[in-house]
Structure 1
């Protein structure tokens, strides 16, 4: 369900999982969403959960493994550890997770890292950084990091997870590497052949996502190249597929 960036990316595998209802709709803007948007997503998820309970289908819900969920965690953010959301977006996603856990509906919760790929909304990180580089000034939060993961890898992972009988489980879907935003900007500058000034703001946070459970469930993850340099391949792919490279 949905027609945004992630929903479009998942369409090729839709027919492979007829017993699932995948909710790829709702709030995708962590810093700019309104309470009305949060309320609308909550009503949608609640209504879908009721329908899935009635017809026995499994509901797949996309939560977040970003700073809003794990920014206050001690050590890598794990699915089986207590969570203290640190932003309104994180609190919203956590409340929807709790709604599903309390509803009794058959469900699978996937906490996603920072997805990167063609067709992303302009307000998300990579399109925003590219636009700022072209304008000549990049805004960076001090100490901010992002766990980048290619949406093509995410689709493969989700496809494998949906093949399993995972009921009432929560799984982090991320690379497990926290990349400083400054390094992301450095790499984009090199790939785009641009130079921009940098304006720093306070408020950034650093967190690491544990993917131990994901590695155990999906052996293919071990061949995806997750590690300290994985983000470079993700950024290279983004630049090549979106046609933003310098001619």
Structure 2
């Protein structure tokens, strides 16, 4: 099976590439903006005609779109997430290859949800920020393209190579610095939110399964369990061996009651919000709570998350510790 992978140099794309390369039945070609791609092409600026000619020449059976941007201005996010997807869909419509499209979406497309709820694929999407808006527009383009297409809405990916700018990446880096400087206190913010963390290696398994499946439409990819960032911080502190105190700079958002810190030898001590703290408690636009309903992934892809958060956190800390 010939597979064309877009965004192979990105966080998810690297693990998807590794997973596909381990399958002897897959012939993989990577297309992207960087020098490490097999073929250089920028989806956000390239023409559909040029990409169509390449598709007709390579004739892939599956195209996987892991390309895009998670940060930038609204204009940049629109260009890299929405316009790029429009170019891809138009090229696939024009091409003679009739490839199946596996498109990577994200939980930010849903926006905030009710505390304690599980978000199913038929939930009304109300993204709370420009990133989610740009990704939802891309999903709608894929679903309306008439292609043989599936959208995997990935919740909060984590595990090895977790980006430093992600919540768990920031926690690990803060712990590393605290231990290097022998700080007895570590001040952290935004720990009241709940997120559905899913290991990036499990995500790559889901992508692989989607290439072999006939399923179409949107499918959630998550663990099915929301975890407080505060609890993840405590677990990471225990794994790292940090013996100090975690000071929480932000209390819970309005309407969300304070809860005890839970297990672990390190306590989280609430602290007043400093004047310089961000006014928006949810910079990802996803609200205080996100948890995936993953029954569709189980039923239609035969997939479920296998790697627990503690194992993911241990891998994150191993990489952070190597920088000490």
* 2:269 counterpart of 1:219: no
The verdict on how the C-alpha distance between 1:27 and 1:73 changes in structure 2, with shifts beyond 3 A counting, is farther
Residues in 1 aligned to 2:110 and 2:120: alpha-carbon distance in whole angstroms: 10
The verdict on how the C-alpha distance between 1:151 and 1:91 changes in structure 2, with shifts beyond 3 A counting, is same
Alignment counterpart, residue 10 of structure 2, candidates 4, 8, 11: 4
The verdict on how the C-alpha distance between 1:90 and 1:246 changes in structure 2, with shifts beyond 3 A counting, is closer
Over alpha carbons, which structure has the higher Rg? 2
String of CA shifts for 1:39-62, please: whole Å, max 9, x gaps: 222221111111111222222221
Task: Name stretches of at least 5 consecutive residues in structure 2 with no aligned partner.
Answer: 1-5, 29-59, 179-185, 254-280, 283-287
* Map 1:133-144 → 2, pairs under 5 A: 133-136=175-178, 137-141=186-190, 143-144=192-193
Alignment counterpart, residue 84 of structure 2, candidates 41, 44, 48: 44
Alignment counterpart, residue 151 of structure 2, candidates 109, 113, 122: 109
Give the structure 2 partner of residue 239 of structure 1. 317
* Map 1:36-115 → 2, pairs under 5 A: 36-41=75-80, 42-55=82-95, 56-66=98-108, 69-72=110-113, 75-115=117-157
* 2:214 counterpart of 1:165: yes
CA-CA distance at 1:105 after TM superposition: 2.9
What TM-score, normalized by structure 1, do the two folds share? 0.84
* 2:103 counterpart of 1:35: no
Residues in 2 aligned to 1:98 and 1:190: alpha-carbon distance in whole angstroms: 42
The verdict on how the C-alpha distance between 1:107 and 1:218 changes in structure 2, with shifts beyond 3 A counting, is closer
Residues in 1 aligned to 2:172 and 2:230: alpha-carbon distance in whole angstroms: 13
CA-CA distance at 1:86 after TM superposition: 2.4
Give the structure 2 partner of residue 21 of structure 1. 63
Residues in 1 aligned to 2:171 and 2:213: alpha-carbon distance in whole angstroms: 37
State the secondary structure of the residue aligned to 2:139: helix
The verdict on how the C-alpha distance between 1:215 and 1:44 changes in structure 2, with shifts beyond 3 A counting, is same
Task: Give the length in aligned residue pairs.
Answer: 236
Give the structure 1 partner of residue 233 of structure 2. 185
Give the structure 2 partner of residue 150 of structure 1. 199
* 2:173 counterpart of 1:131: yes
Residues in 1 aligned to 2:27 and 2:206: alpha-carbon distance in whole angstroms: 14
The verdict on how the C-alpha distance between 1:16 and 1:216 changes in structure 2, with shifts beyond 3 A counting, is farther
Task: Name stretches of at least 5 consecutive residues in structure 1 with no aligned partner.
Answer: none
Which 4+ stretches in 1 moved above 6 angstroms?
Answer: none
